[in-house]
């Protein structure tokens, strides 16, 4: 993997760049749709590509449990298995071990947990997490880390950070010779000194990219933005900067302003399936009775397939009837919006007017539907 910064904003830390992989280039800043089990829920890889997706995220925890990473490897790797030829980033599975497993026990070796699917007892360690990702054949792997909960004491967060650093060293050793990029993950909860200590140690180990983990796990919006704004500019400038699991459209705008290059979040897909549709004038809840006879598209300025063809009234009808088409059309719109948002920010940074664009973004948002 190679990374190059292409342009920088003069009034903020925003920048554009390009990640080069064996399976194609990724223009940053970028949003990665989440394909948890090797599929972005309800839409096909061809549709993803037509929406402008350049890279997707898949989940190590879920894929190792079902269908199994060794099976995926025997079938030619994850790209072939899911029919997606462009780059894939796989997370380490750490977040899911702590949030989904029925039982988990943290040891120095790793985390022993009970599968939420079949109750089987397993171990996820730096070596096994990297081994699973090697079997999947992703372009970018993530180190195995401890996803720090919130709220958390300083003492626990400190111990967790030191464990994450030790696991990062083991992850790097396990990834040697894979030909896949490996990103380190900065932990430390809301404690500035722990975050910076973790980053310094990760830089000393040396990774292809650096991520900020354990945000949007219960802390306030103000705390999340404080961590992101303080830490993102400190991540190495010559490597991609990634904030994991974030977030709302406003979070993405502020993250880009802070210097972040990569984002992922289930929000556009999950919220779409739940009837929430994002627009530049704010979110729209298609369940509302106010849209029962509304002939307008979700957003008259949107170029997505859903907005070009269907009315709010029809989309509400599909949702109320629980038609499968509702999930597809809502997901198509929301992903188009998120990817278009990133494209607009890349263009604004390259043109040298990101701050003016940002002010316009918030002005449209405040104008409402």
pLDDT, residue 319, reads: 98
Q: Give the integer Cα–Cα distance in Å for 130 and 287.
A: 42
pLDDT at site 368: 86
Q: Which residues are catalytic?
A: 91, 264
C-alpha to C-alpha distance for 18 and 30, rounded to whole angstroms: 10
CA distance linking residue 307 with residue 299, whole number of Å = 6
Local mean pLDDT, 10-residue blocks, the chain (369 residues): 97 98 98 97 97 97 96 98 98 88 90 91 96 98 95 97 98 98 98 98 98 95 97 98 97 98 98 98 97 98 97 98 98 98 98 98 92
pLDDT given for residue 97 in this prediction: 87
Say what the pLDDT of residue 55 is.
Answer: 98
E-assigned strand segments in 75-219 = 88-91, 104-106, 111-114, 121-124, 140-142, 181-186, 209-212
**2-265, CATH topology level:** TIM Barrel (3.20.20)
* Domains in the chain: boundaries: 2-265, 270-369
């Amino acid at each position: 993997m190679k990374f190059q910064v292409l342009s920088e904003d003069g009034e903020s830390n925003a920048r554009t760049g390009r990640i080069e992989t064996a399976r194609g280039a990724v223009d940053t800043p970028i949003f990665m749709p989440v394909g948890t089990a090797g599929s972005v829920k309800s839409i096909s890889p061809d549709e993803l590509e037509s929406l402008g997706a350049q890279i997707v995220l898949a989940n190590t925890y879920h894929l190792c449990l079902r269908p199994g990473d060794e099976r995926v490897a025997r079938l030619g790797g994850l790209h072939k298995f899911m029919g997606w030829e462009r780059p894939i980033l796989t997370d380490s599975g750490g977040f899911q071990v702590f949030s989904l497993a029925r039982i988990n026990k943290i040891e120095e070796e790793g985390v022993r947990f009970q599968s939420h699917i079949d109750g089987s007892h397993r171990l996820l360690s730096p070596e096994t997490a990297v081994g699973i990702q090697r079997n999947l054949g992703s372009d970018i792997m993530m180190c195995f880390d401890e996803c720090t909960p919130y709220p958390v004491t300083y003492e626990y967060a400190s111990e967790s950070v030191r464990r994450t650093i030790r696991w990062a060293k083991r992850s790097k050793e396990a990834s040697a010779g894979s030909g896949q990029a490996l990103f380190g993950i900065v932990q430390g909860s809301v404690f500035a000194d722990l975050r910076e200590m973790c980053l310094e140690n990760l830089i000393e180990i040396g990774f292809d990219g650096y991520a900020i983990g354990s945000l949007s796990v219960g802390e306030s919006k103000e705390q999340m933005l404080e961590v992101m704004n303080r830490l993102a500019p400190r991540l190495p400038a010559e490597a991609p900067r990634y904030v994991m699991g974030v977030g709302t459209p406003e979070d993405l705008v502020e993250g880009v302003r802070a210097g972040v290059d990569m984002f992922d979040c289930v929000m556009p897909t999950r919220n779409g399936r739940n009837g929430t549709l994002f627009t530049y004038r704010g979110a729209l809840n298609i369940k509302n009775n106010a849209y029962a006879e509304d002939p307008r598209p979700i957003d008259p300025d949107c170029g997505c397939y859903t907005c070009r063809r269907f009315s709010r009234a029809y989309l509400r009808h599909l949702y109320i009837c629980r038609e499968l088409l509702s999930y597809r059309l809502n997901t198509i719109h929301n992903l188009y919006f998120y990817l278009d948002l990133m494209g607009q920010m890349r263009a604004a940074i390259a043109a040298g007017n990101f701050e003016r664009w940002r002010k316009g973004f918030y002005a449209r948002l405040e104008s409402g539907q």
